[in-house]
Amino acid sequence: MLEPDAFAFEATVGVRWSDADSTGAINDARLVTLMEEARVAWLLSAGAEYRPLITSAMIVTVGVRFHRRLTHRDGPLRIGMWIDRYRSVDFEIGYEIRAAANPAGSAPACTATTQMAVVDIENHTLRRLTSEEKGHLSAWSRPA
């Protein structure tokens, strides 16, 4: 199990000039793209045994809560991720986003979630998580 302040995966993602608006703040939609870069790095690092789960997951919802403004100068960003919950056909990834220069225990600038559903790609239907997949998700979860 993870320690209370630990993440299943932590990615450092660079902030491009085009990610910021004219005031220097990271654009809300671009923040979701930066989250995607971190999530893909995590999933690709997971290994072959996770491949069925990774290749069959699709995004259902994305939620972002801004606690303070992030600017281009805050880059690169450190994005910590974990499995927030899982059910029979879906799971939710939790995120804490902060400037890489900020200490790990500092308050995040943003918190976010991505709900992912698993699908049977050939039949275009939802499928149930296998017990092995639930085990992987459990290992990536934070303690309750």
- The DSSP secondary-structure symbol of 39 reads H
The tens digit of pLDDT for each residue in 6-54 reads 899 999 999 999 999 999 999 999 999 999 999 999 988 888 888 888 8
Does the pTM of the predicted model rise above 0.85?
Answer: yes
Largest CA distance in the chain: 48
In percent, the amount of the chain with pLDDT more than 70 equals: 96
pLDDT digits (tens, 9 = 90+) for 110-129: 999 999 999 998 999 999 99
CATH architecture of 9-139: Roll (3.10)
For residues 3-14, one letter each, b for 16 or more C-beta atoms within 10 angstroms of the residue's C-beta and e for the rest, the string is eeeebbbbbebe
